[in-house]
Every structure is written in structure tokens, then in C-alpha cells.
Amino acid sequence: MSGHVVGLGEVGPLGELLGEGGQAKVYRAPAAALPDVPGPLVYKQYKAGHAPPHGLAAVVARRLRMDEPTRRRLDRTAAWPVRAVEEAGQVRGVLVPLIPDDYFEDRVKPSGARARTLREVQHLFIDPARAARLGMPAPTAAERVLVCRDLASAVHLLHRNDLVIGDLNPKNAVFRLTDRPCVMLVDCDSIRIKGAAAVVRQLNAPDWEPPERVLSQASDRYKFGLFVLRCLSPGPFASIARDPSRLDAVLPGEGPRLLRDALGPTPERRPTAQEWGRYFDSVLTEAVAARRAAAPATSGGGTSGWRRDPKTRRWVPVT
Amino acid sequence: MESDKAKLLPFYLVIDVSASMSGSKLEQANQIMPKVVDALADAPILSDKVRFGVIDFGSDAQVRLPLCDLLDDEVTLPALNVRGATSYAAAFRLLRAELESNVKQLKADGFQVHRPAVFFISDGEPTDRDEEWRAAFRDLTENFPIYPNLVPCGVDDANPRTLATLIHPASGPKAMRMYLMEQGQNPADAIAMIAEILISSMLASGQSMAQGNSGLILPAQQDLPSGISAYSSDDFV
């Protein structure tokens, strides 16, 4: 059975237009329902000439073949294409789960206009005071580490399942801080299965080009390094930064070396997302332990980095 | 280690505030800057790419918003008011002086600078003598190494033939375009639509700048708001 494809008729009448880009329009699809997707769906309708030529079905099918815990994990991690939508044998669009509310920020823009804004990770790269002034959250250093930790696990999940993200960029990942800081990959069209061509040509966003030309899991690891660099040293021109020494005073322990390897020209030396995940776990565990040991009475506030305590030699948050 | 030297795109709005702009046209003109700020607030990493400045002109021309990072806390947006005639010559002369000093300043501060982009909005004919404003335009666009990519935009009584001569570069692979209000359109609405074009052009240009293009990307024909048409320099003879 070709369960990964549905006819346009099964999408039903479309609801509100949620967004429009150069290649597609995204509508609510209130009448569409799928047994394997608990929440609401949206319909991404490709503009004429922009329907992906091939490979979409394989990306959809890969999800359907996952065991249920992995698929649920994937659905929390990425707004994954859950069905290809065809009309007369042609791909017209794709059904995707609606991005959950907690990835949106209700805010007041500088003009005073109210807006509901998708919390794209680009907001993590700017000066936190500026972000706050623009009505966006200004996460603490500790929250930023948690965001990096979560993105590491997202990348690991995809890599473990033989997927290549390709175009990780400031707009196609979104974050939330409530509950537990999390990152969700959106706009997953450019994801491809390792060993197969991409659904749409994999491209680099400006300022996210890896040293090599061909995009692979190794270039994902490079881009993850850029994300860590830019997320943990927010401020003017962080969004174009490539110099790992920006984090020398911020990342404890192995961090500066991991980052240099991640941003280096040798793809084989770049740390995997799993190595990054373990590293961030150790940073977070040590920070918590150090805080408990050093100041049992203080409540957890923002930190701007870590330093080594001269007596205990432990990494402690700079307050 | 590779340096993090930034490339900036200076983006200017040069806008007519002659007497004929009073009323709802001026109101819409005053909405442009807050709209640009809001657009940047949704794409704040563009502050690492784009600088914005405003010059207005009537009988004379004035720098109303010196080239700046619009998301900077220190920035105060000026209110535009009408004053007098329509001196294209004054606008071009001041623009040339600003381009020269602003680009020099950015380079001295260690930035690479893309060719400046200028949206020139007018609702009428120049009141200068013909040879005067044409000479000022030549000084701005010929034998001037930092000549701008100039996008004229006309509403109401602007003369398409006059404005078409301001498209610069007028031909070649990096030729610019002109935007004109369609017949019967409300001119204040047309100004709002031109603001939309300016903003989408600024976003697209800022987002793609690292790819080594000319630094100014104009929206595709099918993405233009209805009520505005795009022309190239050879559409009017």
C-alpha cells in the first residue's frame, strides 16, 4: 500500500493561510486527520514549478517505518512531512503537523503592533538586551546551553536514522524555553536520506556555508558548531561569526577544542552530535553540582558563563 | 583564524516632501520607517547586514535619519513634514555627499561595504531647471565609484518619463527597475505598497548578501502588490 501519499481530496477544505514563502504557501488543514499524527495538520502547497521532483515519498515513508517511540520522538523534534499530497499523479504539496503554540511568542513590536511570532533561532544570536526590547525572550547562558543540548539530541536522532539535515539555518529551527528548553526543526523539505538525492536541492544559507561543497552529515556537524558558537556568544555580528575563540572564555573543559574541531576543515574530525550532547550534559551536571556546593541558599538565576573555581577546580557559573 | 569581518549594505530612502505630499500621502510616508523597524524586529540578524538612512527633499534636502542600525536603542525616528518645491538637484547632491562620507566611515570602521541601495520616492516633477537636476544626477551616477543602485518610485503626478531616466544602472545584468502607481490607484495606498517593496527588497538583499551578488534584490514581478507596476529603463522612450 502506498500509505505515504494521499489525494488532494483527502486534505479537505483549507483553512487560514499561515505563511507564504518563495516556494510554497502554508494553510491550516482543519479537515485532515491522520491516525499517526495526534495534533492538527497544515497543508504546504508548493507553488507552480516548485514541487519537489523526487524523494519526498521516501522522506515521508522513513517516518512511517520508524517504531512508535522513535516516530513520536521525531515528531517532537521536527515538523516532518507526514504525507505527500498528489493530484493526478503529481505531487502538489505535503501535510505537516502544525507547529505547537509554545514555539510562538506573543509580543509587541517596536511600532506598538501586537504580533504572534515564531521563535526562530535567529533571535538567539542577537544581543539579549536587544531581543528583550524587541519583545522576544532573552535566555540566560544556562538556558542557552540547554537549547544547544536539545539541538544536539535532535541532530543525533536524525543522524542515527541515516538522515542529512542539509540546510540548518537561523530560520528553520525554532525554540521554546518553557517547560524544558527545546528546539524544533521546521521546513524539513531539504532533509534527505543518506545515500539518496535530496527532495529539494540542499543549499547553504548565507553565512552557514561549510568549507566543503557537498552537504552531508559532516556538514551538519559543522553547522551545529556554528549554531553553538552563535547561540553562546550572542551580540553584534554573532550571526556571521566563525571564530571559535569567541567561546574560549565561555565553554568549560573540552568545549573550546570540540568547537575548533567542529569548525575545522577536516570533516572526519568534527564531533558528532552525540559527543556534543555528552559534553553539554557534563557542563550542566557540573554547573548544578558546583552551584549546590558553592551557594546552597541562592536561587537559580542567569549566568553569563563558567569559570574554574581556583580552590575546588570545579567549573562554576559566573554570576 | 578567519576574521569575522562583516559586509554591510547601506540602504537609503530618499523621499519627496514637497507641498503636494501633504495629507494622507505624508501620513503613509511617515509609516514607512516604523514598518521597516518592525520588519527588522522579525529578522533581527539583518542588523549584521543592513544599515538604513533617510533623506527628504522639498525646496532643499535634509538628512532626516543618518545611516544607522535601525534596531539600535539610540535611534529616534524623525517625523516627515512637507516643505516647498521639488528639488531633485538638492536631493541628488546631498545623497552623493552622504554616500561618500558614510561609505568612507564604514570602511574606516573595518567593514566591507556593498554598493548602496536607494529607493527614491516622488509624487511630482522636479521644479529645478532641467539641466540643473540632470547635472546633479550625472555627478551621482557617472565617474563616482560609489554610485548607488537607484530605484525610482513614482506616485500620483510623478512623470514616468522623467523617473525612468533615474533608473540606475539602466541596463546590463545589474539593471534596476522603477515602480509606478497604476492609473486610478489611491496615491497614499501606493506609498504603502512601495514601502512593502522596499522592505521585501531589503530583507531579500540582506539575507542573500553573503552570496556575492550586487547587494540589491528586487521582488519578482508576480510578488508585487497589486496597484504597482515595475518598469525597466527602456519601457519609456
Local structure of A251: helix, strand or coil: coil
CA distance B111 to B41: 23
Could A130 and B71 be called an inter-chain contact, meaning their C-beta atoms sit closer than 8 Å? yes
Rounded to the nearest angstrom, the minimum Cα separation between A291 and chain B is 33
CB B180, CB B228: distance < 8 Å: yes
**Cα dihedral across residues B12, B17, B20, B23: positive or negative:** positive
The torsion region of residue B151 among left (phi > 0), alpha (psi -120 to 50) and beta comes to beta
Interface touch A243/B6, C-beta < 8 Å: no
**Contact yes or no for B44 and A236 at CB 8 A:** no
Give the C-alpha separation, B94 to B85, whole Å. Answer: 16
- Summarised one tens digit per residue, pLDDT across range A16-54 is 999 888 789 999 999 999 999 989 999 999 988 887 766
CB contact under 8 A, A206 and B35: no
Nearest-CA distance from A317 to chain B in Å?
27
Hey, which residues does A117 pair with through a beta bridge? A105
Instruction: Identify the burial level of A208 via C-beta atoms within 10 angstroms of its C-beta, where 0-12 means exposed, 13-18 middle and 19 or more buried.
Output: buried
- In chain A, where the domains are located: 5-97, 101-282
CB-based contact, A110 to chain B, within 8 Å: yes
- Rounded-to-integer distance, Cα A232 and Cα B129, Å: 58
Q: Which residues of B touch A238 (CB under 8 A)?
A: 48
Q: Is B1 a residue whose pLDDT tops 50? A: no
Q: Is the CB of B34 less than 8 angstroms away from the CB of A111?
A: yes
Please report the residues numbered 211 through 270 in chain A whose beta carbons come closer than 8 angstroms to any beta carbon of chain B: 236-245
Q: Closest chain A residue to B39 measured between Cα atoms?
A: A109
pLDDT digits (tens, 9 = 90+) for B190-213: 999 999 999 999 998 888 875 555
Higher pLDDT, A57 or A258: A258
DSSP, residue by residue, B68-128: E-TTSTT--PPPP---S---HHHHHHHHHHHHHHHHHHHHHTT-EEPPPEEEEEESS---S
Q: Is the dihedral of CA A285, A288, A289, A290 positive or negative?
A: positive
pLDDT (tens digit, 9 = 90+) per residue, A162-214?
A: 999 999 999 999 999 988 899 999 988 778 888 877 666 667 888 999 999 88
Instruction: Choose the weakest-confidence range: A185-189, A284-288, A298-302.
Output: A298-302
Q: Is the pLDDT of residue B129 over 80?
A: yes
The dihedral formed by the CA atoms of B181, B184, B188 and B190, expressed in degrees to the nearest 10? -30
- ipTM of this predicted complex? 0.90
* Mean pLDDT within B133-160: 96
Is A109 in the B-facing interface, judged by CB distances under 8 Å?
yes
In CATH terms, the superfamily for domain A101-282 is Transferase(Phosphotransferase) domain 1 (1.10.510.10)
Question: Which one has a higher pLDDT value, B198 or A318?
Answer: B198
Structural domains present in chain B: 7-235 (3.40.50.410)
Asked whether the beta carbons of A260 and A245 are under 8 A apart, the reply is: no
Cross-chain Cβ contact B34/A241 below 8 Å: no
Q: How far is B87 from chain A (nearest CA, A)?
A: 31
For chain A positions 119-148, those within 8 Å of chain B (CB to CB) are: 122-123, 125-126, 129-131, 133-136
Alpha helices in chain A (DSSP H): 8-11, 56-65, 68-77, 128-133, 141-160, 217-232, 255-262, 273-294
Mutation to test the A interface, candidates B8, B38, B45, B51, most A Cβ within 10 Å: B45
pLDDT in tens, A241-250: 999 999 999 9
The residue that leads in pLDDT, A161 or A22, is A161
Q: Running DSSP on this structure, what letter comes out for residue A81? A: -
- Put simply, whether the predicted model's pTM sits higher than 0.95 gets the answer no
Q: Which residue of A has its CA nearest to B212?
A: A206
Mean pLDDT value across residues A100-118 = 95
**pLDDT score, position A305:** 64
Does the beta-carbon distance from B48 to A237 stay under 8 Å? yes
Contact B1 A207 (CB under 8 A): no
Instruction: Report the half-sphere exposure of B145 (CA within 13 A, side-chain side).
Output: 5
